[in-house]
Structure 1
């Protein structure tokens, strides 16, 4: 291939990129890279081709091209080529490459080999389930994976599942003075076996409801009052929002993440701890008719 032909293909690749024709853009870049893999600007071509396949969720190609992009990127300087490689390697469960990518980016990892299971703080992820979007809190296990610690209200999503998220924040949430980024979900990495239930609880005061939430948390399970769910439009969701977890007295719906028998046992225990002021009824799966028999005193 002559350089004049390569210049024309690169021009077409950039035009396709601007039009968000990711596959065409990547194909054009790859045609040039077959002949000019190590030109001075080739690191950008490798990066753009890998990124295009990331947008397409073609993780095998994103991984292969990402390796080439990272091989031409400076180490320890936060170059995004390493971040995108880390994402693709994580999704493909190539832990050796993932660890090398995060180190190349400049992130210190827990010592060891294989899957990364560290403590990288908390963040929010915007789940995307067939067009239904919901922002939930996660505990970050690595730079791109996190465990969901809310009980999602979106059907099919569960407390405790592990998701892979993108690296560029698309919003912020402020909770008790701490600002946390919101990342977009890329893929469900590991599902959760904990089913979701809905129950109506009666709480004499806010402390009673707090005690219920704490009881489930102590057992590694989830409990989320309906008052904690806030509806935002897509545009507003990408802004900065103060998060206030409203816990109030009275009757209200609570979403639970637990095996059914364990949920009933803990609800009974909670209700039985006070003679007056705590009750529950109608434990059922979301969307199903609830039985009328109450539980607790």
Structure 2
């Protein structure tokens, strides 16, 4: 049997092992295949893929680079090369790949920061994954626009590195948006996450507070109304605004409301909240549930 045939057999066995979750044995067989036939773009790609999801970026970049050199038209290898290069802040390689793929990005060595529109991203996809909205600043990085739950380990304003292939969709105002899984935190924001419990007389009180915070450049969300829980199947499919797993609508007559607030200055947040109080509405408590300084 020719070396190329043996290498192909090893490659197929490695793929089966990878599908079964045995990455170490799969990598061993992939590398044995390369010893017999080094010019195998699919084998280099598969090795790079395993190291991508391990966040072992230098190895992933090296094998995806070889895969692209052997097969420049391989779109998946090009995307994974760009993801690894971005993670390593190798901006020249990333820019070169995006240009090759027809993305409107100039050549150069500087970080990429453009406006590629808003998109939902899934934080910590291996643990279920909270989906939040973010603004893409390049094809695989986005700045978080929502205030995530504290247990996500992410804050408002974080820049995250996300995958190139979408997993699920969200439909808003008749438009469908792809959901991208976050691979890792790229750059932490300075904004800590706070939970403010309020006692209010109605929706107008909450709106007045949100407007006051916005005027002072402080991000806030009414978690009592804006958060909904989706099952895994629907989260990774197409979730609509009227999704059947949406939480019970909040009773506007209920006096207690939970507001999420994000910012670098607790004193400024507390001052804005207390200045909003009057005889009928008040701040019950303000707790820092995720300190951005602890994540640096």
> Structure 1 66/105 Cα, relative in aligned 2: closer, same or farther at 3 Å?
same
1:193 to 190, 215, 220: 190
Q: How many residues align?
A: 279
* Matches for 1:17-96 after TM superposition, within 5 Å: 17-38=18-39, 42-74=40-72, 79-96=75-92
Residue number in structure 2 paired with 1:177: 174
Whose RCO is larger (CA < 8 A, sep 6+)?
A: 2
Judge conservation of contact 2:121–2:182 (CA < 8 Å) in 1: yes
Which consecutive aligned stretches of 4+ in structure 1 deviate over 6 angstroms post-superposition? 244-247
Distance 2:205 2:79 in 1: 44
Taking structure 1 as the reference length, the TM-score comes to 0.82
2:123 to 115, 124, 127: 127
1:140 to 136, 141, 155: 136
**Is 1:282 the equivalent of 2:285?**
yes
**Is 1:161 the equivalent of 2:162?**
no
Judge conservation of contact 2:125–2:182 (CA < 8 Å) in 1: no
Judge conservation of contact 2:53–2:183 (CA < 8 Å) in 1: no
Distance 1:112 1:265 in 2: 45
**Structure with the larger helix share:** 2
Judge conservation of contact 2:171–2:238 (CA < 8 Å) in 1: yes
**Is 1:242 the equivalent of 2:240?**
yes
SS in 1 for 2:257: strand
* Matches for 1:204-215 after TM superposition, within 5 Å: 204-215=201-212
Could you tell me which runs of 5 or more consecutive residues in structure 1 were left unpaired when the two chains were aligned: 288-297
Following TM superposition, by how much is the alpha carbon of 1:160 offset from its aligned partner in structure 2, in angstroms? 1.1
Distance 2:72 2:4 in 1: 26
SS in 1 for 2:196: strand
Distance 2:199 2:106 in 1: 44
> Structure 1 81/218 Cα, relative in aligned 2: closer, same or farther at 3 Å?
farther
